[in-house]
Amino acid sequence: MSQEEEPLLYEVSEGIATITINRPGSMNTLSIPVMIAFVDAIDKADADDEVKAIIITGKGERAFCAGADLSQGGATFDYASQGSIREKLKVNGVFRDWGGWMTLRIFNCLKPVIAVMNGSAAGVGASLLAAMDFRLAANHAKLAFPFVRRGIVPDAASSWFLKQAVGLPTALDWCMTGRTVLADEAFSKGFYRSLHESSELMPAARALAQEIIENASPVSVALTRRIFWRTAGAEHPMEAHKADSRGISMRGPSADVKEGISAFMEKRKPNFPGKVSTDMPEVFPYWEEPEFR
């Protein structure tokens, strides 16, 4: 199969793994095989110490991801009619949402995740964006969470992730109207980090990734990401204090801290020796991944 025929592309360059949804002919809509390949790609990037950051984008300039593949028409969300492939995520008689399976994998990722919104995003495509750490968008990009206009509800845990990005009032506005949101509005609400001309978008994303790679400890970045996301819904700041305290205590004697301080004092770029695969301390020893039930 040629690269043009691969529904998902994965490449690593200069410490950055770029994952590209490669279905421009269907505006990069997601079929189940693409969703499976997407999670596999996150697994691959997470396991590779040479990867320090992840960029996720879509092929072409029309769409980042126009949502679910609707080729089955009215049966698109009638999962019981779709055979054995849907059984993979069936629990206690309930078909789990595949979009949520994807965003939960992003939630547990150990590398910073940068979305390059090269074109419009709708449905699960928009929901995926909400789960990422940084979102850079083309000036012409449009955003929509049109679930109520299709007779269903928001997917991919966007009722949680979108609130983290823009707050409850804006999340309700976008999801209860299902309207199209232009780039300027989404930027003003804090959904996008920055807006760019199409030709400047990927260079800006790679520059952001390189800023992290060149200046930050990969282990500290992974821990910071984990602490922020896991405490986002905490009932009390004590949860963050417990994780911070463990992180500082466990990282304090590490070679990374010695290198970070030395580099600062010597006014040079750091060269952190720590690896995410082997040097991640457990700052949430009491954490249990919730079960779907």
Delimit the domains of the chain by residue range. 3-212, 217-279
Please give the pLDDT value at position 179: 98
Q: pLDDT-derived band of residue 89, with 50, 70 and 90 as boundaries? A: confident
Please give the pLDDT value at position 183: 97
Please give the pLDDT value at position 94: 81
Are 122 and 67 contacting, i.e. CB atoms less than 8 angstroms apart?
A: yes
Q: pLDDT at residue 181 above 60?
A: yes
Q: Which CATH number is correct for 3-212, 3.40.50.150, 3.90.226.10, 3.30.70.270, 3.30.70.2170?
A: 3.90.226.10
Please give the pLDDT value at position 88: 72
Q: Which CATH number is correct for 217-279, 3.40.50.300, 3.40.190.10, 3.90.79.10, 1.10.12.10?
A: 1.10.12.10
Share in percent of the chain as helix, strand, coil (round to 5) = 50, 15, 35
Same fold, 3-212 and 217-279: no
Mean pLDDT to the nearest integer, 138-148: 97
Q: Which residue has the higher pLDDT, 77 or 33?
A: 33
Indicate the range of 45-49, 89-93, 108-112 predicted with least confidence. 89-93
| pLDDT tens per residue, range 260-279 | 999 999 999 999 999 999 99
DSSP character string of 223-238: HHHHHHHHTTT-SSTH
Q: pLDDT at residue 85 above 80?
A: no
Put simply, whether the predicted model's pTM sits higher than 0.85 gets the answer yes
Q: By C-alpha distance, which of 113, 273, 130, 121 is closest to 208?
A: 113
